[in-house]
Amino acid sequence: MAVSGGIGFVGLIGPHLARRLVGPRHEVLLPAAALCGALLVITADTLGRWILQPSEIPTGIVVAIIGAPYFLYLLAKAKD
């Protein structure tokens, strides 16, 4: 995370969300992961600009706030 910044978190969360939506078929999974990652960044950017108008919240922080609960859910599920 230190080298890639907060946006690198999308690379962890996007494919997991896509696998949940489309299943394990790799022909569909790769485009779905790209679309999930793009949708996550667009949503985070829109929320970051909208929440504290006229100032902005950095997109990386909003991505972490959106993605962290899902990532923690995946970690808790893996321990079961």
Question: Quick check: is 1 in a domain?
Answer: no
Structural domain boundaries enclosing 20: 6-79
Per-residue tens of pLDDT for the chain, all 80 residues = 456 666 777 888 899 999 999 998 999 999 999 999 999 999 999 999 999 889 999 988 899 888 889 889 988 988 76
Q: What is the pTM of this model?
A: 0.81
Nearest Cα residue to 61 out of 42, 37, 72, 45: 45
Question: Quick check: is 62 in a domain?
Answer: yes
CA distance 67 to 59: 12
Structure confidence at residue 44 (pLDDT): 93
Whether residue 44 contacts residue 59, with contact meaning beta carbons closer than 8 Å, is answered with: yes
Tell me how many domains the chain contains.
1
Question: Quick check: is 23 in a domain?
Answer: yes
Question: Quick check: is 28 in a domain?
Answer: yes
Question: Quick check: is 42 in a domain?
Answer: yes
Whether residue 13 contacts residue 70, with contact meaning beta carbons closer than 8 Å, is answered with: yes
